[in-house]
Structure 1
Amino acid sequence: MSTGETPNRLSALRERASLTQQEVAVRLGAPVTAGQVSRWERGEVVPVPRYRRMLAQVFGVSVAELGLPATPPVPRSRSSAEDWFVADEQDSRVVESQDRWRATRAALNANRHQLAQVAAGLYPDHRLTDTGLIAGEGWIPDGPVDLAAVKLMEADASLSALDGSEREAARLLPDQSLMRPFPRYTTAVRDLARPRLFEDRHAWRLVGVDWSAGSLAFGDGTYFGFADVFESLAHELAYVALDADGRPVPVPSLRDLPFRRLVGSPFDLGRRPVMPAVSTLTIRRDGDAAEFLMHRRDPRAVAAAGGMLQVIPSGIFQPSSLLPAARAADFDLWRNIQRELAEELLGMPEADGHGRPVDYTSGPFGVLDEARDAGRVRVWCLGVALDALTLVGEILTVLVADADVFDHLAYDFVDRNDEGQVVAERFPFTAEGVRGLLGSGRVAPAGAGCLDLAWRWRDMLLPQQR
């Protein structure tokens, strides 16, 4: 190799993807490290076929486009014991099992809207129109509820009967080695298909919905504890309802879905850990005209709903920090909405659970509080539902901002965030605009639910100005 000649395209592809060597290593999973990625880029060690396939997936290219030698040479010496371990080829049966699992997961992420419709059909008496959501008896109030009137209760949450380790869920997991399957769904995601945002954090667990008392009850949980259940449910349906090429097959029944059948009633919130997410339709009002924003979620960045349109802001209901002061302040739907809006629309760093409590008196938080107190920002809860595919809890909300408040914030809106792209186009809040989006098959169930209910109750949310 002549001086200055590039041994492969790995470094260029990594930089094009805006990834560090450490981030590439994390996506590939143990035992790969940043040092190993560096040696691959310098041509000191050549990755074996398994890691070639994984690198191609991370960079979104074909294996050939990595620019690696056709046949990896066996190096005369190893730079570390790690290189011996990483270079060992897996048994073909393990590779086949993992590739089959990845293919199902890719099909799942490419067909979440369609699969949510299939899943909703399993609960016909509880469908929320054609949104892909299902709702328990009394989970949708008779009209929008002012967010200030929603009472949040902390409740003891006993251990769930199901946690994703059951035999019915274990059947969905690939082999980790020749004699051992992956122990958990999240472990498989971590090692085989890790998105950029994938961290186990504390989150509140939905344990009760009671609109007669205007209250929602929550216990404690963790993201991975939720995901081991909800992503297993989604994976199972994708495996049964799609063929090897990701095309639909005859609609299954619950008989064909042993893990979902084991869950039983999806509205029994004590049987499994249910993760609550808060999704907010953000509407700009200018006189009698209104328009709203949407967010395109990046499938490389998020574990769920990648490639779909979602209302913005949207995020898991969880504290910004594990410190007691943060937990107390953040147990509030409005604070969760504010924080997600600041992160997703204004590009503020995400509160990762380890830092100081958020100062809600400063920056955009103070602006939003002041505007809400003055009635220029109004926020309602539209109800609670479940994503039929995953059975994740969805707290559906809508924020209506007067044009001057919205435009003051919009001056600093970002085009992209850690989870995807903020759609530059603003959609008209009209029958044509709303129904066109809902009929497109591109909107995530939570976003579709927000749009459907907000349009149904538009006269209460946007009374005509005199």
Structure 2
Amino acid sequence: MPSSAADATPNVVLYNLRENAGETQQDVAEALNALGAKYGRPLAITANQVSRWERGITGATPFYRKLLAEHFGVSVAELGLTRPRVTSSPRAETADVFAIRSDTNEPEMPRRVVESQQQWRTTRRALNAHRVALAREAVRLYDAELRIGTTGLIAPPSWLPSAPLELAAFGVALDSAASEPDVTGTEDASAHTRPLASEERRYARYSQAIRDVDHPRLFENRLAWRLTGVDWDQADAALTFSTSTYFGMVDTAEAFAHEMAAQHLTGTAGGISPASWRGLTFRRHLGDPFDLHRRALVSSTDTLTIRLDADGATFVLHNRSAGNVAVAGGMLHIMPAGVFQPSSILPAAQAADFDLWRNIMREYSEEFLGNAEHGGDGNPADYAAEPLASFEAARTTGRIRVYCLGVALDALTLYGELLTVAVFEGETYDRLFVDMVDSNDEGVVVKTGKVQPTSALPFTRHVLDELAHGGRLAPAAAGCLELAWQHRHTILGRN
């Protein structure tokens, strides 16, 4: 195999087979895993592995070549993959190294590293399958007065205002004096949450392991704002922020979750042992989760979208794909939801985008209307252009009302959640979302429920209870729905 990506020769044949089939690398990986199960061989092939085959970075073992050929309906010879050959290896017995070598005599990954990464991947996939239940158990690690019901969220009482606050009623401010966080996820206390990268070392960061070992479809580092203070009595600066990165959050939050899954998931049936601090060395190392100077607490703006008509209120949910997103995959979530971050790394964007409503507007454009992500590393978002201009106009004229319900932490990940709710007049909702998509890059839009086959879910106690007992509602969604229901008369403008 080539010594680096620069030396690799892309496998154009394999790339064209996939492109002609109209499949993504994730589609191929999932198909191969399914074929492996058919042959009694449980596999955990990732999109990243398929990418490495296509780029010529690595070859494929004979069994993988057999599965690829079966999937694409071609012979093994037509795949264009390098045929590995088995050679004797004097190190195989003493160093426990796989004896399969490519034609260029580069050894395969050492067995101990393969097993470490396989175990890590298995734990992570079990984590993604049981996030809701794990969060509801993790909440028991904290004092009862910090728990927001049975939602899986925790918050000190001071983080939840006594009544919903319209976004215009408080301000956000930059904290120029914030110090660098003490806990970054690179500490020895978190080492057990990171797999081996080689025989000599573990991955330095959890985000690096996700990138290489179990890469979701959407996984990109971006500049993000880090929450440093919550004080609702400070109207001009109720929430203060410094700067950080999305991966800076992943390195701690996902490590906390991984640790919890490794310690508390039991057996193949997804059983969960009672919450205990035993083995949670990284979580214990953090200490007070509400100490905003200990770590980079990047937060998401989670917005419950309510359509208000004369005959009642309805809302939508988002079935987030575990294969597409790194956080909250496999859950039902409110929408839109997205990291509070600027639309570009350019200074002008950082100044223009430091606004909760603008962040929410961009998420509406992307999640509800299927538009490409605004900004990224390129030009900043243009708020004078559609559809952002229409969102702004509707809010200015009172046809959209947006409230903040408070700030909380997901007990499993200790990730920050900015809980908000937007109430749309029915006619305005229809006009703005006339081209609403059924699915987007992060998952499928859930518009109907089994309790009532309408175009959206009724905002009623019965529906909320049914969702809560369904076991798939993301903690942030459960918390936002519960708080919105408690304050429904204020939010809906009804006595």
Higher relative contact order (CA 8 A, sep 6+): 1
Match of 1:74 among 55, 78, 84: 84
Distance (whole Å) between structure 2 residues aligned to residue 309 and residue 136 of structure 1:
25
Question: Residues 8 and 29 of structure 1: is their aligned pair in 2 closer, same or farther, counting only changes over 3 Å?
Answer: closer
Distance (whole Å) between structure 2 residues aligned to residue 163 and residue 30 of structure 1:
31
Matched to 2:457, the amino acid is: F
Q: Assess if the C-alpha contact under 8 Å between 2:134 and 2:260 holds in 1.
A: yes
2:271 aligned counterpart, secondary structure: coil
- 2:93 corresponds to: none
1:30-429, aligned counterparts within 5 Å?
32=52, 34-36=54-56, 47-48=60-61, 52=64, 73-74=83-84, 88-125=107-144, 126-155=146-175, 156-214=177-235, 215-245=238-268, 247-425=270-448, 426-429=456-459
- 1:456 corresponds to: 486
**How far has the Cα of 1:73 moved from its partner?**
4.4
Aligned residues: 440
Matched to 2:343, the amino acid is: S
- 2:476 corresponds to: 446
After TM superposition, the runs of 4+ consecutive aligned structure 1 residues lying more than 4 A away are 7-10, 19-26, 62-73, 82-87
Q: Assess if the C-alpha contact under 8 Å between 1:48 and 1:87 holds in 2.
A: no
Distance (whole Å) between structure 1 residues aligned to residue 457 and residue 104 of structure 2:
52
Q: Assess if the C-alpha contact under 8 Å between 2:61 and 2:84 holds in 1.
A: no
Q: Assess if the C-alpha contact under 8 Å between 1:48 and 1:89 holds in 2.
A: no
Q: Assess if the C-alpha contact under 8 Å between 1:240 and 1:252 holds in 2.
A: no
**How far has the Cα of 1:21 moved from its partner?**
11
- 1:435 corresponds to: 465
Matched to 1:464, the amino acid is: R
Question: Residues 445 and 337 of structure 1: is their aligned pair in 2 closer, same or farther, counting only changes over 3 Å?
Answer: same
Q: Deviations over 1:96-154 (max 9, x none)?
A: 11111000000000000000001111113211001110002310110100111121010
Matched to 2:204, the amino acid is: P
Structure 1: segments with no counterpart, 5+ residues: 1-6, 38-44, 57-61, 77-81
**How far has the Cα of 1:202 moved from its partner?**
0.4
Distance (whole Å) between structure 2 residues aligned to residue 209 and residue 17 of structure 1:
45
Matched to 2:244, the amino acid is: G
**How far has the Cα of 1:322 moved from its partner?**
1.2
CA RMSD for the aligned pairs? 3.3
When normalised by structure 1's length, the TM-score is 0.87
Moved more, 226-235 or 347-356: 347-356
When normalised by structure 2's length, the TM-score is 0.82
Distance (whole Å) between structure 2 residues aligned to residue 115 and residue 93 of structure 1:
29
**How far has the Cα of 1:359 moved from its partner?**
1.3
**How far has the Cα of 1:243 moved from its partner?**
2.6
Q: Assess if the C-alpha contact under 8 Å between 2:316 and 2:457 holds in 1.
A: yes
- 1:42 corresponds to: none
**How far has the Cα of 1:74 moved from its partner?**
3.3
**How far has the Cα of 1:346 moved from its partner?**
0.6
**How far has the Cα of 1:442 moved from its partner?**
1.1
Moved more, 100-109 or 87-96: 87-96
